Amino acid sequence: MAEQAITGYKRWLESVGEQGVFFKSFFRNIFRGGFEWSEFVRQCYEIGYRSMMLVGITSFIMGLVLILQLRPSMLQMGAESMLPKTLAVSFIREIGPVIIAIICAGKVASGIGAELGSMKVTEQIDAMEVSGANPLQYLVVTRIIATSLMIPLLTIIGDAIGLFGGFLALNFTDDISFSLYFHKCISSLEFIDLFPALVKTIFFGFAIGFVGCYKGYNSNKGTESVGIAANSAVVTASLWIFVIDAVAVQITSLLFYR
Amino acid sequence: METEKKHTEENKKLDKNEIVVDIDHISKSFGTKEVLKDINLQLKRGENVVVLGKSGQGKSVTIQCIVGLLTPDNGTVKVFGDDVAQMNDEQLKELRTKVGFLFQSGALYDSMTVRDNLEFPLTRILKITDQAELDKRVEEALEGVGLTDAIDKLPSDLSGGMRKRAGLARTMIVRPEIMLYDEPTTGLDPITSREISELILDMQKKYKTSAIIITHDMECAKITADRVVIMNEGTYIAEGSFDELKKSDDELVRSFFNETT
Ligand SMILES: Nc1ncnc2c1ncn2[C@@H]1O[C@H](COP(=O)(O)OP(=O)(O)O)[C@@H](O)[C@H]1O
Ligand SMILES: [Mg+2]
């Protein structure tokens, strides 16, 4: 038992070390010159545009459902007019970024893990290296930067759609005009609601890209390892998102709520 | 002799005894598994060496050491006299302009069309940016392997044989002086295999490339080999011409030839 625990712990430490090395080589390759623009743009399209539908639908439903769930208790407290503010603050600060990041971990991190994993298995990464391209620069740097930019963008879009979903739900029952609802949402938001949430999503995006690339790039050379890479990318990225979220909340409250 | 007279000029440059790849007693282990024990092989200019051996013997590992994808634990690999393990990034890049590598699976980039696959090494190794020049070279290379129709197809739309050919075209397109073929005919039907083998022979004749060809396919070996080496358990156990080895006294050596005789 003890031995097993020790080897497990050792392996964990090893993988942390490997991730550190991977991070270092990623970082070094950003500034190497010869940025792969066309691949970067393609990745932004793949990651951003192709996830838009999924993010949109989820956010819409989340906004709608939250209003429906909140309304009875808010009515009881006589705080019905607070509904737009409650939704706006909770959605933009917490629910939007986390839900969207988790969804993207499922779609994007697994996609990257599987793609790079299969490129590894079929020797495409080796082929790239002997073709005079730097696979870290071509595959990894472009993807990580693309996710770090696209996840925040998707979150902004998702937030807007979520608030719109909330408006529709409220409109069923309360017949509130769009401009009034919108005004209530916006006026309730402050800098500390928006800025930390946006910064947080950059880190979410980074985690998604980094974990996906790490798992794919370092997968073994067997067909089953593609599935393993995709699966563990989702699990690890999701975990990272919650850890980052917890840390981000602590830092935000230290900085802004004193 | 006659052919030599015809190519006197070229032969001045092409010293037939120049050793282009010198693998000097290398070994390589992965973890506790000793894959290469003691490999020693010299490839001469313009020569086709065929490496035979059961799978999992480290044949691919050997040629990956030549392009610096792997580094041997002991011993050295020299290409054109320079030690591969000592090279920095720039020198490795330079090396890879001269050494072409055909991967076992073809290793075409899934997300790119055949055209983009072939342009990839042109823009990166030869740094060609002129689109007309790129198009010309791509078309030429595809013509050479009989794949002109597939130029705008994705690898997923190609058959196994077509993928191998596209892979071959992509490797050849930069005109490397040394070619490393990793099982070029494995998994192909006999007719396509023969075509690929003949393409390999053509390359040798046309561009005077030196090549190491890893294969299980005796017909491919017969067509392409100037010299054959047989690998078993991490070392080379026999070396000679195809016909010599076929008549070998060693049972293990002969067993490779049994299928076809
Ligand atoms: N990068 C690697 N990491 C770990 N083991 C490897 C690696 N490359 C090859 N091996 C192992 O080395 C052995 C020989 O592989 P290989 O050279 O591909 O054999 P083959 O002679 O069939 O080409 C195999 O057992 C393989 O698992
Ligand atoms: Mg092999």
Asked, for residue A21, whether it belongs to a domain, the answer is no
Q: What is the pLDDT of residue A90?
A: 92
Residues B75 and B69: beta-carbon distance below 8 Å: no
Number of domains observed in the structure of chain A:
1
Is residue B128 within 8 angstroms of chain A, CB to CB?
no
State how far the alpha carbon of A11 is from the alpha carbons of A114, A234, B120, in Å.
Answer: 22, 20, 38
Write the pLDDT tens digit of every residue in A216-239: 999 987 888 999 999 999 999 999
Question: With contact defined as beta carbons under 8 Å apart, do B211 and B100 qualify?
Answer: no
Of A103, A88, A90, the C-alpha closest to A52 is: A103
The number of distinct structural domains making up chain B is 1
pLDDT tens by residue, A72-84: 998 898 888 889 9
Does A19 map to a domain? no
Contact A103/B at CB under 8 A: no
Chain B neighbors of A42, CB-CB under 8 A? 111
What pLDDT digit, counting tens, does each position of A27-86 carry? 888 888 778 899 999 999 999 999 999 999 999 999 999 999 999 998 898 888 889 999
**Which residue's CA is minimally distant from atom 25 of ligand 1?**
B56
Q: What is the DSSP string of B144-168?
A: HHT-GGGTT--GGGS-HHHHHHHHH
Q: In angstroms, rounded to a whole number, what is the distance separating the alpha carbons of residues B212 and B47?
A: 8
Summarize the confidence of residues A9-27 as an average pLDDT.
88
Residue pair A87/A63 in contact (Cβ under 8 Å)? The answer is yes
CA of B58 from ligand 1 middle (Å) equals 6
pLDDT digits (tens, 9 = 90+) for A90-112: 999 999 999 999 999 999 999 99
Please give the pLDDT value at position B6: 46
- Domain with residue B109: its CATH number is 3.40.50.300
Residue A151 Cα to ligand 2 middle (Å): 40
First to last CA, chain B: 31
Residue type, A170: L
B112: left (phi over 0), alpha (psi -120 to 50) or beta: beta
pLDDT at A247 over 50: yes
Spacing, Cα B55 to ligand 1 middle (Å): 9
* Regions of chain B short of the pLDDT cut 70: 1-15, 259-261
- Flag whether A187 is in a domain: yes
CB of A130 within 8 Å of any CB in chain B? yes
Probe site for chain B from A123, A125, A136, A220 (most B CB atoms < 10 A):
A123
Question: Of B173, B174, B177, which is closest to residue B13 (Cα–Cα)?
Answer: B177
Q: How many other C-beta atoms can be found within 10 angstroms of the C-beta atom of residue A246? A: 10
Domain that includes residue A215, residue range: 36-256
Residue A3 in any domain: the answer is: no
Flag if B103 and A132 touch (Cβ within 8 Å): no
Residue A60 lies in a domain: yes
pLDDT of residue B191: 87
Contact of A126 with chain B, judged by CB distance below 8 Å, is answered with yes
A222 has a chain B CB within 8 A of its CB: no
- Quote the pTM value: 0.87
Q: Mean pLDDT score of chain B, rounded to an integer? A: 86
User: Domain for residue A5, yes or no?
Assistant: no
Residue A28 in domain? no
Whether residue A258 has pLDDT greater than 60: yes
Give A127's contacts in chain B (Cβ within 8 Å): 101, 103, 107, 109
Domain boundaries, position B137: 2-260
At B261 the pLDDT is: 44
Backbone angles phi, psi at B37, to 5 degrees: -100, -50
Tokens of A111: 């996609």
- Give the count of beta carbons closer than 10 Å to the beta carbon of residue A178: 11
Name the residue among A221, A241, A219, A220 with its Cα closest to residue A113.
Answer: A219
C-alpha triplet A147, A152, A156: angle, nearest 5°: 145
Partner-chain contact B64 A126, CB within 8 Å:
yes
- Can you give the pLDDT at residue B12? 47
Chain B residues 4-63 within an 8 A CB cutoff of chain A: none
A14 domain-assigned: no
Distance separating alpha carbons of residues B115 and A138, to the nearest angstrom: 18
